[in-house]
Structure 1
Amino acid sequence: MYDSKLTAHFAAFYPLGKPFISALSKVLTYKQFSKGDILRQNGQTPMIWYIEHGLAKGYYQDQEGNERVTRFWKEDQVMLLTGGNQYQTAADSIMLLEDSRITTLSDSSVLYLYHTFAEAAKLSNKIILNDRNYSEIKSFLCSLPTRHGYEQFQQLFPSERLLLQDIASYLETTPGRISVIRRNPE
């Protein structure tokens, strides 16, 4: 049995009993994705994805057909894809930006864990709260002057692994403005 980083990640949110950890370990699936692979929200897509290794972006196409980056995920983060009205995914599509190793749980496994173990409900709430808090980073960074927003971005994300145009889209500015900031650090 492969010992996933996901169990340690979940345990950091809420104390997990040995029976829960054992059941979780049995239902995890591991997938290898290539750079450029896309995850979309649909009936066949699991709702929880954990990035063990790699990098991803969430995005959508605006009315003019321009790509708008809404989110980045890196190693040791959970991506949630939900179909309910209460929680929406951060993007229409998620693209893997590097070859990535992902751990996931099927929807039926999530339901099994949720209905079988008492800690699953509290863990679920903590994961959703963490995801919501993480999604609010974009609003904060975009509210700052561009130079300061980019400086904060570099502290939070692996900017050296991201395309300039994706960073600019996320920060709601132009690639040219980010280039100027990179060339002329204060």
Structure 2
Amino acid sequence: MVNHGLYDVLFNAKHLPEELKDGKIREELMRAVELQLTTSVHKKNQLLLTPGHTADQIYFLERGAARGYFHDEEGKEHTLYFWDEKSIIIDSVSFFSEQPSDLYIEVMQDSVLLSLSRKKLNDILVSFPYLNMVIDLILLNDFKQCRKRIMDFISLNPVARYVQLVKSIPRVDLKFHQQEIASYLGTSRQTVSRSKRA
């Protein structure tokens, strides 16, 4: 059985269901997940999701980087998500509502991804219903990140937002283009350049 980083993230989550603290149940779950899990290698700039398509895969970023973005009515691009290694990549709104997405999800470096389709995830949940709590944690984490980002936009200047980003994603400037970082921070490329020197 392969010891993916996915299991480290899963079993180190806060408020883990009691069942998942049992070693035998963990092994049983890992065996079940292993049977359903798909490992794939993606080239830089490969798209995992495009607007109008319903997200039907949940990804775990074993190695690499990815981002989620959209275009406004004038065609301007806005970066909404950055995902670093050991992150779960998902358009949670589209995946759980089974509605078409309004996001692009793009791999930003050559990356290794683990994935589960919605059907395979549901099959696992039938056998391990307490795993639903983990799904709730994924949704809660997504909500918390969005709320923190809104609060940062309200309370921090662009340089402070850049500092926060560097703390959360080490070497962010090597993983994403400066324009994408500026878009994520809601500022200009020039401000990002100044922030690096600050």
Same fold? TM cut 0.5: yes
- Does the residue aligned with 1:142 lie in a helix, a strand or coil? helix
CA RMSD of aligned residues (A): 2.3
1:153 equivalent to 2:162? Answer no
| Alpha-carbon distance, 1:160 to partner | 2.3
Q: Distance in 2 between matches of 1:110 and 1:78?
A: 14
| Alpha-carbon distance, 1:7 to partner | 2.1
Moved more, 22-31 or 85-94: 85-94
Match of 2:106 among 95, 99, 112: 95
Q: Equivalent residue for 1:114?
A: 125
Q: Distance in 2 between matches of 1:87 and 1:69?
A: 22
Q: Equivalent residue for 1:140?
A: 151
- Does the residue aligned with 1:136 lie in a helix, a strand or coil? helix
| Alpha-carbon distance, 1:67 to partner | 0.7
* TM superposition score normalised by structure 1: 0.87
Opposite residue 7 of structure 2, the aligned amino acid is T
- Does the residue aligned with 2:2 lie in a helix, a strand or coil? coil
| Alpha-carbon distance, 1:19 to partner | 2.0
- Number of corresponding residues: 183
**Aligned 8 A contact 1:32 1:101 in 2:** yes
| Alpha-carbon distance, 1:21 to partner | 1.9
Moved more, 45-54 or 24-33: 45-54
For residues 80-120 of structure 1, the C-alpha deviation after alignment (integer angstroms, 9 at most, x for no partner) is: 23436769899611111100000011211101111221321
Q: Distance in 1 between matches of 2:111 and 2:58?
A: 15
Opposite residue 163 of structure 1, the aligned amino acid is H
For residues 155-181 of structure 1, the C-alpha deviation after alignment (integer angstroms, 9 at most, x for no partner) is: 112322221111110111111122233
Q: Distance in 2 between matches of 1:87 and 1:145?
A: 37
Q: Distance in 1 between matches of 2:100 and 2:8?
A: 24
| Alpha-carbon distance, 1:77 to partner | 0.6
Match of 2:191 among 173, 177, 181: 177
- Does the residue aligned with 2:59 lie in a helix, a strand or coil? strand
Runs (5+) with no aligned partner, structure 1 = none
1:128 equivalent to 2:139? Answer yes
**Residues 91/175 of structure 1: CA separation in 2 closer, same or farther (3 Å cut):** farther
1:30 equivalent to 2:44? Answer no
* TM superposition score normalised by structure 2: 0.82
Opposite residue 76 of structure 2, the aligned amino acid is N
Structure with the larger helix share: 2
Q: Equivalent residue for 1:54?
A: 64
